[in-house]
Amino acid sequence: MTIIQEPEFNNIESGSSINIRVQNLTKSFSGTIALDNINLEFNSGEIHGLVGQNGAGKSTLGKIIGGHYKSTSGDIYINNKKITKWSSKMALDNGIAMIHQELALVPGLTVFENIFLGIEENSFGILRKKNFNLYKKIDQKIGFNINPNQKVVNLRIADQQKVEIMRAFARNARVIIMDEPTSSLTNDEVQKLHELMITLNKSGCLIIYVSHFLDAIIEVCSKITILRDGKLIRTNSILKENKSTVVEAMLGTSAEIAFPMKKNFESKNVKKILELKNIRSKTGIKNVSLDIHKGEVVGLLGLVGSGRTEILRSIFGIDSIQEGEIKYLNHSIKLKGPNDAIKKGIVMIPEDRRKQGLVFTQNSKSNITITNLLKISDYGILKFNKEIILVKKLIEQLDIKPTNTDGNISYYSGGNQQKVLFAKWMFNSPKLILLDEPTRGIDIGAKRKIYELINDLSANGVSILLVSSELEEVMGLSDRAYLIKNGKTLKEIIPSKYSMDDVLFSLFEAKKINTVN
């Protein structure tokens, strides 16, 4: 096949074989281990699937190979040559292209301009006439049929993804790392993408396929690597695995974290605090009904993108609802915004503590008391002594370190920042806490503390609606839980009477049904 003849773009077929090896690779994010001593090898001719639960480290591994993250320790070898410096540019120069979950295109430029961005044909910096033959040749090979003159901003997400893939091609990528490429594609498009992967693979490309769609991985990959909690569980030929073996390996026997014991919750005896009836919103909630009782911990079980966070946002009044009813303490309510919700005793602890949770230019004390300055002021004038006494109490109760009230929280560990975030809302004495990813990126000790805290809060009559990507967490902490898929509540379960496997299988099964339709 001699489809592309231009000297700059002739390597796709004739590309020499490539071998990528990572040795003792470890990556930690401010103290939290994301990848733990990984040894793994990739070869041309493979379609190599990386699977694992949310937070298992599969994306991180992809990003390190693609040069987007630096490893904390360990080495990468390319064709047995040790890499000393590594960046996404160097990865590209070595024929390794990464296609991200979050697309990285320039919206204002056309498809053509995006594909050849950075490698435009030019004479002394002056652009030459656009060489559409080049484009055609790439397009023929892939068969995406996108108008090269269209602006990227006008494309659907799926088409933007195609542009990304074509961009990798234009750079003669011998290795393409795809991080969850199918999450926004239709089934037809997924099928096309898979065919393309196989074609590419036959021509000698190495494809690293990161996904939590197990069916897709099993269908298209030749090799599979399973990660769990940052550790490599095993690498195997796909012929030796099936969905059950993979799920079991992903799940493991996660005895590392024990959940604090809790008393049996009897929802019949207490009043309902919140009730959602057939909620629908523009943000992707299609039909959600659920209820929470006083002092109850209710979990939402769902994969990324199922609408979990959106449900919390609607209750908190950030996103308005289009249909349905929210009842709070037996009254139908329509919240105008966070301020309104907080006044009623509903608070949200957001998933992104850096962007939405804490004010990093302020010390620990100011961050904690900001939710209820009325408590520590007279006529708008702050009473510092009272503030310090109350904050000290919370710092002690939550075991926040360092213990000083004027600590610079940007130097705190993730776990302690998270505790400050909790303290901030406990200061406001809420009735209902909407809790989004309470333990993301924090260590085991801090996790344990947060779990105890959740139990304590519920024991004291505070209701909690819990969302977490770590399913065990939702299972271990909740009195009741709802399975969420595609913005809908599927069914209600009692976690203590349900196994993790059942949940995981039903969530992934749900995905499977979805891709077949």
Q: Which residues bind another protein (CB under 8 A)?
A: 316, 318, 337-339, 341-343, 348, 350, 355-362, 366, 369-371, 373-374, 377, 380-382, 384, 408, 411, 424
CB of 107: closest distance to another protein in angstroms?
21
Contacts of 189 by beta carbon, 8 Å cutoff, 6+ apart: 158, 182
Q: Which two tokens stand for residue 71?
A: 């490893």
For residue 457, the Cα-to-chain-centroid distance in whole angstroms is 27
CB of 372: closest distance to another protein in angstroms?
9
Between 135 and 425, whose beta carbon lies closer to another protein? Answer: 425
CB of 439: closest distance to another protein in angstroms?
19
CA distances from residue 35 to 67, 177, 369, 426, 448 in whole angstroms, order as listed: 15, 18, 36, 33, 21
First CA to last CA across the chain, in angstroms? 35
Between 16 and 408, whose beta carbon lies closer to another protein? Answer: 408
Between 206 and 358, whose beta carbon lies closer to another protein? Answer: 358
Between 352 and 502, whose beta carbon lies closer to another protein? Answer: 352
Between 322 and 356, whose beta carbon lies closer to another protein? Answer: 356
For residue 357, the Cα-to-chain-centroid distance in whole angstroms is 17
CB of 175: closest distance to another protein in angstroms?
35
Phi, psi of 149 (to 5 degrees): -95, 0
Between 224 and 349, whose beta carbon lies closer to another protein? Answer: 349
CB of 350: closest distance to another protein in angstroms?
6
Count CA atoms within 13 Å of residue 281 on its CB side.
27
Pair 234, 249: CB distance under 8 Å: yes
Query: Which amino acid is residue 84, in one-letter code?
Result: T
For residue 244, the Cα-to-chain-centroid distance in whole angstroms is 23
Helix (H, G, I), strand (E, B) or coil at 288: strand
Report the C-alpha dihedral over residues 511, 515, 516, 517, rounded to 10 degrees. 100
Between 45 and 338, whose beta carbon lies closer to another protein? Answer: 338
Please state, in angstroms and rounded to a whole number, the distance separating the CA atoms of residues 475 and 299.
8
CB of 345: closest distance to another protein in angstroms?
11
CB of 420: closest distance to another protein in angstroms?
12
Between 15 and 317, whose beta carbon lies closer to another protein? Answer: 317
CB of 342: closest distance to another protein in angstroms?
4
Helix (H, G, I), strand (E, B) or coil at 275: strand
Report the C-alpha dihedral over residues 234, 236, 239, 245, rounded to 10 degrees. 0
DSSP-derived secondary structure for 450-509: HHHHHHHHHHTT-EEEEE-S-HHHHHHH-SEEEEEETTEEEEEE-GGGS-HHHHHHHHHH
Between 148 and 357, whose beta carbon lies closer to another protein? Answer: 357
Pair 351, 304: CB distance under 8 Å: no
Please state, in angstroms and rounded to a whole number, the distance separating the CA atoms of residues 314 and 321.
6
CB of 290: closest distance to another protein in angstroms?
22
CB of 370: closest distance to another protein in angstroms?
5
